[in-house]
Each structure stands twice: as C-alpha cells, then as structure tokens.
A = this chain, B = another copy of it.
Amino acid sequence: MNNQAIGFIDSGVGGLTVVKEALKQLPNEKIYYLGDTARMPYGPRPSEQVLEFTWEMTSFLLSKGIKMLVIACNTATAAALDDLREKLAIPVIGVIKPGSRAAIKSSKNQRVGVIGTEGTIKSGAYKRTLHEKNPNLFVTSLPCPEFVQIVENDQYESKYAEQVVAETLGFFDDKNIDTLVMGCTHYPLLRPFIQKAVGDKVTLIDSGAETVNDVSTILDYFDIAAKREEETTHEFYTTGSSDDFNEIASGWLGLENINAKTIHLGQGD
C-alpha cells in the first residue's frame, strides 16, 4: 500500500487520454500530470532530444514524489523507456507493449495497421514488438504528422480535423487491415474521425487505455496500490499556457478545477 501519486508525462495533452482511463479504472490513485506543451510536438525531434526532454519531465515529477511513472506518450516511450527503466528504482510503464498486446489479441486476419508520430514510426518500436510476439503478423505503419498539432490546437472536433484524418488514412483503403493501433496518445481525441475514415470493421486499439491495465497489474504486483478514505486532489502541470491546458483537459476529462500550473523545463527551445 502506497498513497503517493502516479506520474504521467506527455509531450502535451495527449497523455490525458491515459489519465481519463486511469480515473475510471483506478479511482483511488492520485495523479500528477506533466505535459511539455511548450516543446511539443515531440514527433519530429531526434530521439536523443526526446530522451533528454523525457528525463527533464521525469526529474520534475520525481521531485514532487511519485511511486510510479507512466510515459503516456508513444514517441517518448520509443526513445526513453529502456533508459528510464534501467536507471529508476520506481516502476516505469510505457504505452507500446500494452498497445501491441491488445492488437495481437484483436486481429483475426493477422493484418494490423499502426499510426503514430514520425518519431514513433521511425523507431520501428511497434513493428518490432508486434513481430516479436507474432512473427506472422503483417504490419503496415503510417506516420500522421499533422494529428498531434490539431489536437493541441483544440481543433479535434473540427471539419478540418475530419478532412485531414480522412485524407491521411485513405492510405489504408487497400491494406485490408482489421485492427488499427492508435500509436499516439493524442489520437483517441480524434477517434470518431479515425473510425469513420477506416470503417466500422476495423478495431481501433487505444494504446493509452490499454496501458492502464498494465499500471493496475504492476501496482498490484509491487503491492503499491493506494488505499484511500477521502477523495484526493490531482495535480496538473504544463510547460505552456495553463489556460489552454485547462480548457482541453476539463473538456476531455469532464473535470472542473484542473488548475494546471505552468512550469519551466531545461533551457527552453
């Protein structure tokens, strides 16, 4: 039993899709969230830089006191999970393996699509993980560079978003996939448009939501789940505008009083 917070980090607001699931599945847990909005998107950055930024976010949350770290960002998971796990004494959970596992469970025809940022797709992390688990899987990956920015600009319900998603995902029309991994935690906010674009027969995998199952398992495994009598207060931090963050976060999480605080990391950029 451990009532310390679980830390969630992301390049921006995408990790809130993981938090949303955590609030549902793990109501006893206190959450500290940090979105590096000032330096997003991470997708186009070199992986060394993503690693550096991820360490900066991690240090901040460690200084606040966390019992577990969730890298609620696929780009950062691909770039930094192994290094963080090796060096930290607290459990570190990434989003790529849980998403891969769910995809393998879901696919009947062995043809799986993966969408993500340039960084995530270039790292090959999904393809590698999927093939390790099932060498017969046929995996088609597609970077979707514009999606993150659309979500961060709070345009994820716009006509423009629908158009970009439809055009980008037209790529899968002749790929005959039955499962599509949303390999970026921002993408579930675009879920209705993504589903429409690929059709109802394709199962969408929300790698972030799947990750919460892992968080729950690891909390139990190390016996560090929280036990709480009264309600807890979550804390939200952003390196960008707290007003923008509050607006997206309260809309998406259905919570009032997000009260995000703006903090500064590194040398800026």
List B contacts of A134 (CB < 8 A): 27
- Which of chain B's residues has its CB closest to A211's CB? B217
User: In the complex, which residues 218-234 of chain A have their Cβ closer than 8 Å to any Cβ of chain B?
Assistant: 218, 220-221, 225, 227
Q: Is the CB of A217 within 8 A of B213?
A: yes
User: In the complex, which residues 183-228 of chain A have their Cβ closer than 8 Å to any Cβ of chain B?
Assistant: 213-214, 216-218, 220-221, 225, 227
This protein's copies in its complex? 2
A143 on the B face (CB < 8 A): no
- Which of chain B's residues has its CB closest to A220's CB? B97
Query: What 0/1 readout, one digit per residue, does chain A (12-56) give for beta carbons within 8 Å of chain B?
Result: 000000000000010110000000000000000000000000000
A1 to B213, CA, bound (A): 22
Contact among B132, B217, B225 with A133 in the assembled complex (CB-CB below 8 Å): B225
A145 on the B face (CB < 8 A): no
A159 on the B face (CB < 8 A): no
Q: Is the CB of A28 within 8 A of B216?
A: no
Q: Is the CB of B221 within 8 A of A214?
A: yes
A101 on the B face (CB < 8 A): yes
Say how far A133's CB is from chain B's closest CB, in angstroms.
Answer: 7
Q: Is the CB of A221 within 8 A of B101?
A: no
- Which of chain B's residues has its CB closest to A25's CB? B105
Q: Beyond A27-B134, A97-B220, A132-B225: 6 further Cβ-contacts under 8 Å?
A: A1-B132, A28-B133, A101-B216, A213-B217, A217-B217, A217-B218
What 7 pairs across the A-B complex have the smallest Cβ distances?
Answer: A217-B217, A97-B220, A214-B217, A132-B227, A101-B216, A218-B221, A213-B213
